[in-house]
Each structure stands twice: as C-alpha cells, then as structure tokens.
Amino acid sequence: MTNTTTDIQADSAALSTRVRGVHRQYPTGVTVVTAAVDAKPYGLAVNAFSSISLDPPLVLVCVNESSNSYGAVFASSHIGINILAADQIDVASVFAKSGGDKFTELKWELSELGVPVLAGVAGHFELEVKYKIPAYSHTIFVGQVVEAASADKAPLVYQAGQFFDGTRLEPVR
C-alpha cells in the first residue's frame, strides 16, 4: 500500500497536533528577550530558554525568524533575557503580541551594555551572543552571561495555555 500526498499531509498534521499538545503540558518560565538597535528597544516573549553551563556561564534562547523583533535580536552583539515575575501577566501579554511599540507603556532602562532591561522582573541576564545556530524556522542564540541579577520575586509560569504564580508550586515528597 502506498501513501498518497494527502495521507502524508494528514499524518504530518496529526503529529503536529500531538507534539503541540505535549509541549503545552510542559510548564515553563516566561521570558522576554530584548535587544536594542540604535538605542531603540525590541522584544518578544520566549519560552524556549535554557541554561547550558555555569563555567563558563552560557544560556540559549530560540527565536522564531518570523518575529518582528528577530532582526534586532540577530543584529545585536548583546541581548537580554528578562524572567517575568508572577505579577507581570500584563507584560507577558504585551510581548506575546506581534508588532507595535511594546515598550511605550512599560518601565524599562538600557543597561551599560545597551540591553533593554524590564522593571519588576524576577531576574534578568545580559548575554554576549557567541553563536547563532539556524534551526529551520528558528535561530538558537547561545550567549555568555556577562551580567545577571535577581529579585526576591516568584517567577511567572506558563502551562497548558494558562499562567501560574511560581510561589504556589508545591514540593514533591
């Protein structure tokens, strides 16, 4: 029996739906990746963020090439990873949308390295971009941490289309 193009497309769509469903079940912190070009800030919400190593301190973040902020992130030698606090659902909503000036109504500042840092975050990293790895529709940015700060605030957590307060996580016994 041979597969038709229609069968292959249906199988691919079904797999895509299953993959999306599995991803939705995985809880993740909510981050905003920021960059500046000529002191103009750009940013987007990203949940594909991870630590790579502590020595040297390296992290990675994956950015969709279709994002309006992608060009600014790609062009920047330094980028920021802002870990949103549990009380920043409104900030997450701003950066989850495409287009527009997302920084107009928010408090933020440019760091000494020229990286936009959002006010009120649970923590942030400033990265010197070391590698830009193409990965189909995304680019994986690997950066060395050159600055980091955290506040005594719980993170905003995302799972299955909902936001959660990181202080309400219960330990597993």
Sequence-ordered list of residues with C-beta below 8 angstroms from that of 33, at least 6 positions apart, any chain: 43, 44, 46, 49, 61, 63, 69, 73, 79, 80, 81, 82
- Structural domain count, the chain: 1
- Residue 52 dihedral angles phi and psi, to the nearest 5°: -105, -50
125: in domain: yes
How does pLDDT run across 102-151, given as a tens digit for each residue? 999 899 999 999 999 999 999 999 999 999 999 999 999 999 999 999 99
165: in domain: no
128: in domain: yes
Range of the domain at 148: 27-159
Helix (H) or strand (E) holding 96: helix 89-96
User: Token pair for residue 127?
Assistant: 């990265």
17: in domain: no
- pLDDT at residue 99 in the model: 87
Task: Give the CATH number, domain containing residue 132.
Answer: 2.30.110.10
Q: Is the dihedral of CA 32, 110, 54, 65 positive or negative?
A: positive
Alpha-carbon distances, residue 132 vs 24, 45, 61, 62, 113 (angstroms): 26, 18, 10, 10, 19
pTM of the model: 0.90
170: in domain: no
18: in domain: no
100: in domain: yes
